[in-house]
Amino acid sequence: MLATLAYRGGKTIHNAPPGFKDFSAGEEARTPGQILAHMGDLFDWALSFASGKEAWHNSKPRDWDAEVDRFFGALEKFDAFLASDAPLAATVERLLQGPIADAFTHVGQIALLRRLAGAPVRGEDYSRAEIQAGRVGKDQAAPVAEFGA
């Protein structure tokens, strides 16, 4: 799941146009920068939750590249914890239903905002993507079957 999230998330956040971080779809809507910062918060929380030291922090969005690095760094730390022999203080179901599922929702939101901002992400047959367990960092495989390519 985390490798899939890294792949799909990477597609939506890499090569975002200048100024996309602050794109607004409406007065009450989160900006892409706020969503991405929240995704970093989700995986900081997921790690604290999984390790039995649950803590939540609302981060103020930084520049886009810093938030991209933060998201992938938090995902890598969480993945490393899950791959370790450390005991889980939370059930896998709660981790999946909480931070992981929430992050997938936010990837979709960023993809939609990209389309609204005039910089859509090219769709693809994700079932053919080269997604590998443990590959959760910024460096992902190139798309294999993008639509319209």
Q: What is the pLDDT of residues 54-66, one digit of tens each?
A: 999 999 999 999 9
Check residue 148 and give its pLDDT.
78
pTM of the model: 0.95
What is the rounded average pLDDT of the residues 21-27? Answer: 95
Amino acid at 17: P
Check residue 149 and give its pLDDT.
63
Given a contact cutoff of 8 angstroms between Cβ atoms, the answer to whether 1 and 7 are in contact is: no
What is the rounded average pLDDT of the residues 39-44? Answer: 98
Distance CA 4, CA 48 (A): 22
Amino acid at 48: S
**% the chain with pLDDT above 70:** 99
**Which range, of 28-42, 66-80, 98-112, 134-148, averages the lowest pLDDT?**
134-148
DSSP sequence for 87-136: PPSS-HHHHIIIIIHHHHHHHHHHHHHHHHTT-PPPPB-GGGS---TT--
Tell me 22's DSSP state. G
For the chain, the average pLDDT equals 96
